[in-house]
Amino acid sequence: MPELSYREAVRDALSRAMRRDEDVFIMGEDIAEMGGSMGVTQGMLAEFGPERVRNTPISEMAIVGAGIGAAIQGMRPVVEIMYEDFTTLAMEQIVNQAAKHRYMSGGQLTVPLTIRTQGGAGWSPGAQHAQQLEAWFVHVPGLKVVFPSTPTDVRGLLWSSIYDDNTVIFFEHRTLYPIKEEVPEELEPIPLGQARVHRPGEDVTVIATGRLVHEALRAAEEAEAEGISVEVVDPRTLQPLDEQALVDSVKKTNRCVVAHEAVVRGGFGAEVAAVIQYQAFDWLDAPIERVGSKFTPIPFAPVMENYVVPHAADVLDAIHRTVGR
């Protein structure tokens, strides 16, 4: 089995889709010669040429909007928004246009557009290059939202996103690009809306997304040494959400921690907590614990950034709190 980094896995999914299908093309800022600001699309210009690997102006509205127009005509564009902080510039096109054309047309139109973006703290880029905004998009009917945390998942889920007939907002986490994993020779598509149990456990369920999946796995190992058995579940797709898998896990462990890098207030974890308390209320032995960033913009100074965003230790603390009740 080949070993791929998260970065290479994204590139692999894009390249396979583009080899298979003339209607798939990519566009975004600095994605051609430079290969993207994160190096994800390196080498793709040489293979596919400038018609299908399109450098764009710094025009987020036009990047997303042009993707919408090409998608409506039956192509399957994948557009890149360099940082998820910059999706703010394209919110009108994403929220009012991409998400609603199918509905407003009474089912006449589909917008099979994939919007790739990335973000996350941990490298001191400051407040405008490190946010985690995935919860905003979960709030918009008509959008699908995907947030993979491993090379295997990012490859299989990107493929499914490209071939989904809806607009998919596809979040990658900057600090995950270098992580490596053995992946199957052939790309195995992963259906949207299917959670993954990373590690089975008996005492506590940690439902984590993005970078926090890895922090949760570290915390689970430490907890294990203390005799606490932790199950780690990654929803992978935030919309549609695999509620059943999350609820089943909590019904088994009777305790739940939700963890993400985004700020706690209004975060995706709030939605997960609501689902769990409603569907597994009688199984819960303790209040659901929430882990996320403190309610500040992401600060610059490394010591402050490190203080604001959550780590394995914060997940472990939450595990301790819930088993202590």
Partner 1 sequence: MAKVEGKRAGVSQERQRVFIREMLLIRHVEEKVEERFRAGELPGFLHVAIGQEAVAVGVCQAMEHGDVFASTHRAHAHTLARGTPPNELMAELYGKIEGCSHGYGGSMHLYDVARGNLGANAVVGGGLPAIAGAGLAFKLRGEPHVAVAFFGDGATNIGTFHEAMNLAQLWKVQSVFVLENNHWAESTPASQQLPIADLEKRAVAYGMHSAKVDGQDVEAVHRAAKRALDYARSGKGPVFLVCETYRLVGHFVGDAQVYRPKDEQRTLRETQDPIHKLRERMEMPDDEFEALDREALAIAEAAVEFAKSGTDPRPEDALKNVYA
The residues assigned a catalytic role are: 60, 129
Q: Take residue 228 and report the two structure tokens written for it.
A: 């606490």
Nearer to partner 1, 108 or 186 (CB): 108
Q: Could you tell me the smallest distance in angstroms from the CB atom of residue 76 to partner 1?
A: 11
In the region spanning residues 169 to 228, those forming contacts with partner 1, defined by CB under 8 A, are none
Which residue pairs from 242-246 have beta carbons closer than 8 angstroms and sit at least 24 positions apart in sequence? Answer: 242/193, 242/194, 242/195, 243/275, 243/279, 245/194, 245/195, 245/197, 246/195, 246/205, 246/207, 246/272, 246/275, 246/276
Q: Is 103 in the site for partner 1 (CB under 8 A)?
A: yes
User: What x/- string results for residues 35 through 54 when contact with partner 1 is judged by CB under 8 A?
Assistant: ----------------xx-x
Nearer to partner 1, 33 or 221 (CB): 33
Q: Take residue 322 and report the two structure tokens written for it.
A: 């819930």
Q: Is 296 in the site for partner 1 (CB under 8 A)?
A: no
Contact 197, 245 (CB under 8 A): yes
Number of residues located near partner 1, criterion CB under 8 A: 43
Amino acid at 165: D
Q: Torsion over CA of 134, 138, 143 and 147, rounded to 10 degrees?
A: 40
- How far, CA to CA in Å, does 2 sit from each of 152, 181, 186, 265, 309? 11, 8, 10, 40, 33
Q: Is 104 in the site for partner 1 (CB under 8 A)?
A: yes
Dihedral of alpha carbons 264, 265, 268, 270, sign: positive
Stretch that binds partner 1, among 158-166, 173-181, 254-262, 267-275 (CB under 8 A): 158-166
Identified binder of partner 1 from the candidate list 29, 41, 82, 102, rule CB under 8 A: 102
Q: Is 108 in the site for partner 1 (CB under 8 A)?
A: yes
Q: Is 28 in the site for partner 1 (CB under 8 A)?
A: no
Stretch that binds partner 1, among 7-15, 72-80, 222-230, 273-281 (CB under 8 A): 72-80
DSSP-assigned states of every residue in 225-280: HTT--EEEEE-SEEES--HHHHHHHHHHHS-EEEEEEEESTT-HHHHHHHHHHHHS
Identified binder of partner 1 from the candidate list 16, 30, 39, 69, rule CB under 8 A: 69
Q: How far apart are CA 292 and CA 128, in angstroms?
A: 18
Q: Could you tell me the smallest distance in angstroms from the CB atom of residue 157 to partner 1?
A: 17
Q: Is 91 in the site for partner 1 (CB under 8 A)?
A: no
- Which position has the token pair 């018609």? 51
Q: Is 114 in the site for partner 1 (CB under 8 A)?
A: no
Q: Could you tell me the smallest distance in angstroms from the CB atom of residue 11 to partner 1?
A: 21
Q: How far apart are CA 269 and CA 290, in angstroms?
A: 7
Nearer to partner 1, 69 or 126 (CB): 69
Q: Is 165 in the site for partner 1 (CB under 8 A)?
A: yes
* Residues at the contact surface with partner 1, assessed by CB under 8 A: 25, 51-52, 54, 56-57, 59, 61-62, 64-75, 77, 92-93, 96-97, 101-110, 112, 141-142, 144, 164-166
